């Protein structure tokens, strides 16, 4: 996979980086990466991988470009409206970098075709917005021994995770109960347009590191980005021996089409409480356990009486402080971090966790204006 003089000019800034250099650029040229979902996440991921000289780039999507996509799906412009995304995306990527091969897969990913589609690739990026697809992609990657960079977005928050075969947990190890509340349905929940730009670009970064072998990937770490509060948090997580797909005695041996999930992606095991509903609960004789997952400075500025303080980043290690039958109410500033806390609680078999929707900002707005929320 030697570079032509023309390619040496194109990738000059990579060649100058000693960590990448000629050998790394040749690895990029030899790499075959499949981007599942040519949407908000897949757009920046595919654009940067094409620009970076990823030699074979697959783009899998069965939808067509709609006007409401253009707020975030920067792979397309207005002239691409109504065109199949896979085909319009291929055209755009080929125009950006004619040196690479772009393959359009205008199909819906299914258990029946996933093995065949993935067979031609070394690495998969998942930016799909369907929970069923997320598990299907994970299971196929585990079964085929393919690394996977998975991202999800919801309103103002996103998460990122990298699976490396044999080297760390898979997506099911993190979320075995099919809960991922961050698998946003952008149509229903809305999404800040620039948010997938951040997460998709991080996906491309992980892919380039996996291909060239530089740096440390997000293996065993779930990265959470909160755009409203401009915070990155990280949850360390280990492989589960009882994981149904990558564990010691797996029960999943073939990719399966999952059952459709609730349309908003929030698991049924997480209760959603409005500020008014929480207010009503707190007036009862037996009050629920309140768990505030914000950072120390936020908690010290103002919090609800008797709230247990466990910053989200510490929660995995401190879940034992929450009794299994406590039915805790998790809260943060705006409801994003606490939703992740609920998902961790579900995973730890804590019964009936609740999320304060809209967070303490909603509480301050509708119940107690004297509460200081920073
Ligand atoms: Zn697993």
Instruction: Give me the catalytic one of 54, 186, 246, 342.
Output: 186
Interval between CA 173 and ligand 1 midpoint (Å): 4
Measure 140 CA to ligand 1 centroid, in angstroms. 12
Instruction: Please write the tens of the pLDDT for every residue from 34-46.
Output: 999 999 999 999 9
Quick count: other Cβ atoms within 10 Å of Cβ 351? 13
Between 297 and 343, whose confidence is greater? Answer: 297
Q: Looking at the predicted structure, is the pLDDT value of residue 82 above 70? A: yes
pLDDT band for position 182 (50/70/90)? Answer: very low
Strand, helix or coil for residue 267: coil
> 187: buried, middle or exposed (CB in 10 Å: 19+, 13-18, 0-12)?
exposed
Residue 110 has pLDDT above 90, yes or no: yes
Round to whole Å and give the CA distance between 97 and 54. Answer: 10
Instruction: Give the pLDDT band (50/70/90) at residue 262.
Output: very low
- CA atoms of 171 and 180, how far apart (whole Å): 10
The pLDDT value given to residue 261: 43
pLDDT of 132: 82
Alpha-carbon gap, residue 333 to 357, rounded angstroms:
10
Pairwise CA distance, residues 191 & 121, whole Å = 30
Phi-psi region of 118 (alpha: psi -120 to 50; beta: other; left: phi over 0): alpha
- Whether the pLDDT of residue 264 is over 60: the answer is no
Cα(139)–Cα(170) distance, integer angstroms: 9
Beta bridge partners of 101: 56
Mean pLDDT of 299-327: 91
- Residue keyed to tokens 């780039």: 57
Of residues 312 and 22, more confidence is placed in: 22
Higher pLDDT pick, 267 / 16? 16
Expressed in angstroms and rounded, the spacing between residue 292 Cα and the centre of ligand 1 is 29
Summarize the confidence of residues 190-219 as an average pLDDT. Answer: 96
In sequence order, the β-bridge partners of residue 60 are 36, 105
DSSP for 133-169, written as a single string:
HHHHHHHHHHHHT--EEEEEEEBTEEEEEEE-TTTS-
| Cα 346 to ligand 1 centroid, rounded to whole Å | 16
Cα 46 to its chain centre, rounded Å, is 16
Under 8 Å between Cβ of 351 and 327 = yes
Q: In this model, does residue 232 exceed pLDDT 50? A: yes
- According to the model, what pLDDT value does residue 2 have? 92
How much distance in Å is there from the Cα of 247 to the middle of ligand 1? 6
* pTM score: 0.74
Query: Do residues 343 and 270 lie in contact, with contact meaning Cβ atoms separated by under 8 Å?
Result: yes
Active site residue 246: no
- Average pLDDT of the chain is 91
pLDDT over 90, % of the chain: 74
Examine the pLDDT at 188 and tell me if it is beyond 60.
no
Q: Say whether 141 is catalytic.
A: no
DSSP 8-state secondary structure symbol assigned to residue 57 = E
- DSSP 3-state assignment of 290? strand
User: Residue 184: what pLDDT?
Assistant: 39
Mean pLDDT of 289-302: 93
């Amino acid at each position: 996979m030697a570079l032509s003089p023309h390619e040496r000019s194109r990738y000059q800034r990579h060649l100058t980086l000693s960590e990448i250099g000629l050998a790394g650029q040749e690895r990029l040229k030899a790499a075959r990466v499949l981007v599942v979902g040519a949407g908000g996440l897949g757009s920046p991921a595919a654009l940067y991988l094409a620009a970076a000289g990823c030699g074979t780039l697959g783009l899998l999507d069965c939808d067509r470009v709609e006007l409401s996509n253009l707020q975030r799906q920067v792979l397309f412009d207005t002239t691409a409206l109504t065109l199949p995304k896979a085909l319009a995306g291929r055209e755009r990527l080929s125009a950006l970098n004619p040196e690479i091969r772009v393959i359009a897969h205008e199909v819906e990913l299914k258990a029946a075709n996933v093995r065949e589609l993935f067979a031609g690739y070394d690495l998969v990026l998942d930016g799909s917005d369907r929970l069923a697809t997320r598990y299907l992609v994970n299971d196929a990657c585990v079964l085929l021994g393919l690394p996977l960079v998975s991202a999800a977005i919801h309103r103002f928050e996103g998460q990122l995770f990298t699976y490396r075969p044999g080297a760390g947990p898979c997506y099911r190890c993190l979320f075995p109960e099919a809960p991922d509340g961050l698998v946003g349905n952008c149509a229903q929940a809305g999404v800040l347009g620039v948010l997938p730009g951040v997460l998709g670009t991080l996906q491309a970064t992980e892919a380039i590191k996996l291909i060239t072998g530089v740096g440390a990937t997000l293996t065993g770490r779930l990265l959470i980005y909160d755009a409203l509060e401009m915070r990155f948090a990280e949850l360390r997580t280990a492989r589960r021996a009882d994981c149904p797909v990558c564990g010691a005695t797996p029960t999943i041996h073939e990719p399966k089409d999952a059952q459709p999930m609730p349309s908003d992606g929030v698991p049924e095991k997480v209760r959603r409480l409005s500020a008014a509903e929480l207010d009503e609960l707190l007036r009862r004789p037996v009050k629920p356990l309140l768990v505030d997952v914000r950072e120390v400075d936020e908690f010290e500025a103002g919090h609800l009486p008797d709230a247990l303080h466990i910053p989200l980043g510490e929660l995995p290690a401190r879940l034992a402080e929450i009794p299994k039958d406590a039915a805790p109410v998790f809260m943060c500033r705006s409801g994003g971090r606490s939703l992740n806390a609920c998902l961790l609680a579900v995973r730890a078999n804590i019964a009936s966790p609740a999320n304060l929707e809209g967070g303490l900002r909603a509480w301050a707005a509708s119940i107690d204006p004297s509460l200081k929320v920073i």
